Amino acid sequence: MTEVPEQKPCVLPVIFWPDKRLYQLCVDVDQDEFDMQDIDTFVTSMVLTMRARDGIGLAAPQVGILKNIIAIEIPGEDPHIFVNPKIIDIDNTLDFKWEEGCLSVPGYFEQRTRPNRIIVECVNRVGELQRGEYTGLTAFVIQHEVEHLQGQLFIDHLSPLKKDRIKKKIRNTLNRRR
């Protein structure tokens, strides 16, 4: 994890679509990387970044680190950290609706339907293997963030015309933040 720029937790800059880095594949965190303080510092920075941007999920590539790490924090719950997450079981029925958004695509939301239940296998922030079943909004967000690790965005299926509108909206949103 030598790519992490800070030694203490901080809010990290988010990469915005259509940046090509968002389409790169991530790699697993090696077991020997858990012996380093960098993992804990980085995932804490991910949670701080997510909170600062009013998000409920963040994947490492969204902050320029091509590692299989996601953080989610559903309102009313503690943050969840998933290192090297793999969805090993997923419902075949699409029965959970939510207005999906993305910190890398600010200002754009789309009503989406995803499976309501998934089982995820991963390691936690100290390198211990874990498996859990997730439902509802938590399952929805995990699926969205895992897609980031695979170089996919929830807007990939949209028409070129709609994507052009989103690019303009992102520019406007970013200009208002300055």
pLDDT tens digits for range 99-146: 999 999 998 999 999 999 999 999 987 788 999 999 999 999 999 999
The token pair that represents 43 in the structure block: 């995932």
Q: Which residues pair with 82 in a beta bridge?
A: 70
- Asked if the model's pLDDT at residue 5 lies above 70, the reply is no
Residues of the chain above pLDDT 70, percent: 93
- Verify whether residue 145 is a known catalytic residue: yes
- Asked if the model's pLDDT at residue 172 lies above 90, the reply is no
Give the residue among 74, 41, 46 at the shortest CA–CA distance from 60. Answer: 46
Catalytic residue among 6, 73, 145, 147: 145
Residues of the chain above pLDDT 90, percent: 75
Q: Please provide residue 119's backbone torsions phi and psi, each rounded to the nearest 5 degrees.
A: -120, 130
- Asked if the model's pLDDT at residue 70 lies above 80, the reply is yes
Which superfamily does CATH assign the domain made up of 20-177 to? Answer: Peptide deformylase (3.90.45.10)
